[in-house]
């Protein structure tokens, strides 16, 4: 099993830091380190921009910090892109688009239990990027299948590079857009999304999973062929555990749940302490126990993390750093309480 459980820790990648060294130090403070995404350092470090590198038709305005799509530009660049389509190095993230990623790859990470990367998924990238008619490119039946294949290649290249640094590397596909699938206004529903996501994950090497902070249809998400699911249970835990049957099935087939429990936003963080966070988690786990989910098995297949990313705190990175420290302390406390090892 490449992905550890036993309430060990990891964290979301988007961080408010402008100092790459400090961000990398914080990312290494959790049990499963990751490479940070630092949009305040550079717009190239934005998660959507990084996913878009090399994709034909993308229009980046660094000054205005916007990412758009042009069909005319796509048609002009498509042939050149296809000429590189069988070259894995073409799909890696360049140093221009993430100096932090390459710094992370330069570290000695062989002694860690696992390491983790991430990439924006096709649903979210497709919702976020608008074309020349202000229409999300997800709705374009020509662009969408190509985007799925393109991003799968990008995910596999990153995962393989991470595995060179640590054999137990795994990947989050960041999909905040999944929570909008079930809106009547989305224009792209769950049936189409399920088909596209099944194709997408069939193209990605294991281990892989989804991270999101929103509140989608959990039956839909837990039914996908994932190895790990990372979510904000601080905000959405009560809704999530109502899907006990699907959670049990997900765990039984080998899935890992990353419980995002420590808030990173200033106001909710200041309202909590170790006891309140522990009690919140215990309440969620007790609810699942009533649904027939064995507690010992659940904890063996669980990790802890901060609840969300946060770029807008008035104190900059200070609360985020406190949240990282708190999640480590909470993990130690709960592992000791439940006699869990600090290994896989």
Band (pLDDT 50/70/90 cuts) for residue 2 is confident
Q: pLDDT at position 315, please?
A: 94
Is 263 a residue whose pLDDT tops 70?
Answer: yes
Residue 225 within any structural domain of the chain: yes
Domain count, the chain: 1
CA angle, residues 240, 200, 101, in degrees to nearest 5: 85
DSSP state of 38: -
Residue 343 within any structural domain of the chain: no
Q: What is the pLDDT of residues 271-317, one digit of tens each?
A: 999 999 999 999 999 999 999 999 999 999 999 999 999 999 999 99
Residue 2 within any structural domain of the chain: no
Residue 127 within any structural domain of the chain: yes
Residue 136 within any structural domain of the chain: yes
**Residue 21 token pair:** 């060294």
Is 343 a residue whose pLDDT tops 80?
Answer: no
Residue 323 within any structural domain of the chain: yes
Q: pLDDT at position 183, please?
A: 64
Q: Which residue has the tokens 């229409």?
A: 135
Residue 240 within any structural domain of the chain: yes
Q: pLDDT at position 106, please?
A: 97
Q: What is the pLDDT of residues 130-176, one digit of tens each?
A: 999 999 999 999 999 999 999 999 999 999 999 999 999 999 999 98
Q: pLDDT at position 193, please?
A: 83
Q: Check which CATH number belongs to the domain holding 110 and give it.
A: 3.20.20.210
Q: What pTM was estimated for this model as a whole? A: 0.95
165-175 burial by CB neighbour count: b if 16+ within 10 A, else e? bbebbbbbbbb
- What domain range includes position 106? 8-337
Q: pLDDT at position 244, please?
A: 96
Q: What is the pLDDT of residues 182-229, one digit of tens each?
A: 665 567 777 788 899 999 999 999 999 999 988 888 998 999 999 999
């Amino acid at each position: 099993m490449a992905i550890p459980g036993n309430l060990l820790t990891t964290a979301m990648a988007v961080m408010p830091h402008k100092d790459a060294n400090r961000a990398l130090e914080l990312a290494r403070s959790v049990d499963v380190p990751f490479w940070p995404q630092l949009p305040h350092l550079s717009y190239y470090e934005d998660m959507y921009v990084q996913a878009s590198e090399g994709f034909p038709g993308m229009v980046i305005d660094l000054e205005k910090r916007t990412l758009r799509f042009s069909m005319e530009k796509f048609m002009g660049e498509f042939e050149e892109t296809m000429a590189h389509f069988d070259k894995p190095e073409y799909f890696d993230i360049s140093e221009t688009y993430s100096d932090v990623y390459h710094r992370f790859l330069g570290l000695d990470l062989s002694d860690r239990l696992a390491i983790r990367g991430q990439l924006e998924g096709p649903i979210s990238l497709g919702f976020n990027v608008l074309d020349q008619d202000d229409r999300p490119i997800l709705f374009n039946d020509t662009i969408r299948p190509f985007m799925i294949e393109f991003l799968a290649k990008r995910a596999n290249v990153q995962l393989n590079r991470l595995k060179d640094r640590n054999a137990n590397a795994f990947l989050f596909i960041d999909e905040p857009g999944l929570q909008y699938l079930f809106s009547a206004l989305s224009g792209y529903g769950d049936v189409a999304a399920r088909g596209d996501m099944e194709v997408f994950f069939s193209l990605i090497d294991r281990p892989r999973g989804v991270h999101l902070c929103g509140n989608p249809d959990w039956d839909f998400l837990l039914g996908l062929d994932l190895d790990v699911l990372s979510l904000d249970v601080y905000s959405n835990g009560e809704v999530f555990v109502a899907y006990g049957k699907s959670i049990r099935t997900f765990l039984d087939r080998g899935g890992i749940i990353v419980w995002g429990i420590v808030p990173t936003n200033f106001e909710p963080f200041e309202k909590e302490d170790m006891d309140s966070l522990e009690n919140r988690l215990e309440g969620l786990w007790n609810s699942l126990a009533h649904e027939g989910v064995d507690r010992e098995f659940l904890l063996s297949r669980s990790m802890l993390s901060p609840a969300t990313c946060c770029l807008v705190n008035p104190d900059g990175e200070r609360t985020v750093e406190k949240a990282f420290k708190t999640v480590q302390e909470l993990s130690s406390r709960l592992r000791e309480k439940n006699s869990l090892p600090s290994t896989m």
